[in-house]
Structure 1
Amino acid sequence: MYDRYFIIPFVTIPLFILSIESENENKSEHTISRGYSAIFIAFLTITTTALTHDYLEWNREKWNSLNSLLEKKIQPQEINGGFEFSGQYLYTNYTKNNKKGFWVIDDKYKVTTSTKDEATENYTILNKKKINTWLPMSIKYVYTLRRNN
């Protein structure tokens, strides 16, 4: 639904409409176009604020889950916590992407948002954290999984 590449046109087009003076100086048409633009800018502001909130909440819960694994003395080499986690803890100049992901050595543990795909079918849920979201279509849970031996 939301992509960062739409920010420029979504902001500039309404601002452009607001700045246009009508040819015939019909104030009612100008007021209507300004009203629509103001409503659109308000909608865009509310939507982007809510989406940013949900993304930051998801990211916070993901890192809390990863940190709790590290606090249990689980080595970063055993965790597939995504590109950012693996890059932070396991980065090397050798960046061959294997089927597990960049810098993932062993994926005994995973932190993910879904448990209904092929990549997680041999895993048991260790923890399920609810994410405090504002929008109904946002990700609702972060799962910590352990591979079945």
Structure 2
Amino acid sequence: MSLEIERKFLVENEDFKKECYQKKLVKQGYLNSDKNRTVRIRIADDKGFITIKGKSNETGTTRFEWEKEIDILEAEQLLLLCEPSIIDKTRFYVKSDNHMYEVDEFYGDNKGLIVAEIELTSENEEFKKPSWLGKEVTGNIKYYNSSLSKNPFKNW
């Protein structure tokens, strides 16, 4: 169990792909997408995970997170029980100084949306912003994956 401190940004162009050192295909769904807690099932390449996240603090940067790897077959079965609209994306990993950005390029009903997240050790930690990083959307619930599963980018 831990607190997750992260900031989220829109991505202005695909230059991040030149800096990417690893990528994974991700499929995820929500067993519960209540604003006070989410229970997510994720398959990343050939691994399954269950994650529980709590409600974000006022700034939207910090929230409780618990994650555990589960059997891939169990994850596939649990995805079938999830709320409608499964999130489908590629996650790109990009190093920037002492930090790593996770950049998600969405497909399906969220095609055209690209979002970058950076995890920090404190809310006030400074970090380098690559040229491809755009407007900050930290705390904007509309950009949470759990929200994108209910109100996809194509409907905005």
Q: TM-score range by the shorter chain?
A: under 0.3
Higher strand proportion: 2
Higher helix proportion: 1
Which structure has more RCO (C-alpha within 8 Å, separation ≥ 6)?
A: 2
If the length of structure 2 is used for normalisation, what is the TM-score? 0.24
If the length of structure 1 is used for normalisation, what is the TM-score? 0.25
